[in-house]
Amino acid sequence: MKKENMFSKKIAAAIGEVDTSKTPAHTTTFLHTEIRNLLGRDPFKDIKAEYNQIALTLCHFFKKRVEESPDPLWTASRLTIAGNVIDFGIFTSVDIEGTVERALRGPIAIDYYPAFKDEIKRHDKILYLLDHAGEIVFDRILIETLVSHGKKVTAVVKGADVINDSTMQDSRETHLTETIAMS
């Protein structure tokens, strides 16, 4: 039997083992773990590194936008929204610059910024949950903005590779570990 056929049969068997009473996140994590175990490597490793590098090449431009903004916290938070939209786990092709411009110029469906800004003023310590590779660079810009406002930020990543979720490796690759405490 060809290697590809054997792989397909094992994945089909894993799909058959999915507990449909569990959440989509649980199911995706289970299937990704099965795929990673069958391959013997993380199939997202290269694309995660690529998205981190793409975002890093744009980081200086984004930081400049924040620094020149009349409200740096607003701009940094909008950039983070753009970063969240740029999720290669969902989309395989993304217009990064267009997404950023829409986040900075366009309205958003639900705008919690006033409440967010009030909460930031009330707290000195912030726990920041990181989401996925690539976005971590956008998060870093918001985190640096929070730190510049005197906030102590601790960021949390996943403990192991799960699809495109941010890990400690991503935080090192994007220099976030040089900015704040990581967990």
Q: What is the CATH number of the domain that holds 131?
A: 3.40.50
* pTM of the predicted protein model: 0.81
Please say if the pLDDT value at position 91 is more than 80.
no
Q: Quick check: 96 and 53 in contact, CB under 8 A?
A: no
Domain assignment of residue 175, given as a range: 45-182
Please say if the pLDDT value at position 10 is more than 60.
yes
How many domains does the chain divide into?
A: 2
Mean pLDDT along residues 37-54: 86
Return the minimum-mean-pLDDT range out of 76-80, 148-152, 166-170. Answer: 166-170
Q: How far is Cα 38 from Cα 109, in angstroms, rounded to an integer? A: 41
Please say if the pLDDT value at position 73 is more than 90.
yes
Judgement on whether residues 59 and 141 belong to the same structural domain of the protein: yes
The residue among 28 and 23 whose pLDDT is bigger is 23
The residues with which 158 forms a beta bridge, in sequence order, are 167
Confidence of residue 128 (pLDDT cuts 50, 70, 90): very high
Q: How far is Cα 133 from Cα 142, in angstroms, rounded to an integer? A: 15
What DSSP string describes 61-86? HHHHHHHTSSSHHHHHHHHHHHHHH-
Distances (CA, A) of 33 to 10, 26, 70: 13, 11, 45
Mean pLDDT along residues 46-54: 87
Judgement on whether residues 80 and 152 belong to the same structural domain of the protein: yes
Q: Quick check: 145 and 73 in contact, CB under 8 A?
A: yes
Judgement on whether residues 32 and 79 belong to the same structural domain of the protein: no
Q: How far is Cα 175 from Cα 91, in angstroms, rounded to an integer? A: 25
Judgement on whether residues 29 and 113 belong to the same structural domain of the protein: no
Judgement on whether residues 68 and 125 belong to the same structural domain of the protein: yes
Q: For the CA atoms of the chain, what is the radius of gyration?
A: 19
Considering 86-90, 98-102, 179-183, the range whose residues carry the highest mean pLDDT is 98-102
Judgement on whether residues 82 and 141 belong to the same structural domain of the protein: yes
Judgement on whether residues 74 and 133 belong to the same structural domain of the protein: yes
Closest CA to 134 of 180, 179, 181, 99: 99
Q: Quick check: 87 and 135 in contact, CB under 8 A?
A: yes
Judgement on whether residues 151 and 86 belong to the same structural domain of the protein: yes
Strands 152-156 and 181-182: parallel
